[in-house]
């Protein structure tokens, strides 16, 4: 018998839903963060730095480092490692600080 964390906990996730990332539909499970859903699809970067335009994605996974910032439902600077993916969320790659009038 193969023992997995889900089997040990008796967890059965609800049905998947989708979020949109840069115009692409991404499956997400209930309770899964946006960062986790993006990682599961092999997407490792969804932000570029303000200086140099270097790619960034999730790093710490607990909302401390701010590398996972993205524009979610039109709001820039959202920490995707902390935000549960909700059905119909629209996530966009964030370049720099998201908007010229918004400082980070």
DSSP string, 22-79: TTEEEEE-TT-BHHHHHHHTT----EE-TTT--EE--SSSSSSS-TTEEEETTEEEEE
| Residue positions counted in the chain | 104
User: What pLDDT, on the 0 to 100 scale, is given for residue 98?
Assistant: 65
pTM of the model: 0.81
Tokens matching residue 83: 């935000």
Query: Domain coordinates of the chain in residue numbers?
Result: 15-95
Can you give the pLDDT of all 104 residues of the chain as single tens digits?
A: 577 777 767 767 789 999 999 999 999 999 999 999 999 999 999 998 888 888 889 988 888 888 999 999 999 999 999 999 999 999 999 887 665 455 44
> How is domain 15-95 classified at the CATH fold level?
Ubiquitin-like (UB roll) (3.10.20)
> What integer pLDDT is reported at residue 100 of this predicted model?
45
Q: What is the pLDDT of residue 53?
A: 86
- Torsion angle in degrees (nearest 10) through CA of 20, 26, 32, 34: -40
């Amino acid at each position: 018998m193969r023992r997995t964390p889900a089997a040990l906990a008796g967890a059965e996730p609800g049905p998947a839903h989708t979020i949109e990332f840069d115009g692409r539909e991404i499956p997400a499970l209930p309770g899964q963060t946006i960062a986790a859903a993006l990682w599961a699809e092999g997407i490792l970067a969804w932000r570029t730095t303000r200086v140099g335009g270097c790619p960034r994605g999730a790093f710490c996974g607990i909302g401390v480092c701010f590398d996972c910032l993205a524009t979610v439902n039109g709001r820039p600077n959202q920490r995707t490692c902390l935000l549960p993916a909700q059905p119909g969320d629209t996530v966009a790659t964030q370049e720099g600080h998201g908007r010229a009038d918004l400082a980070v």
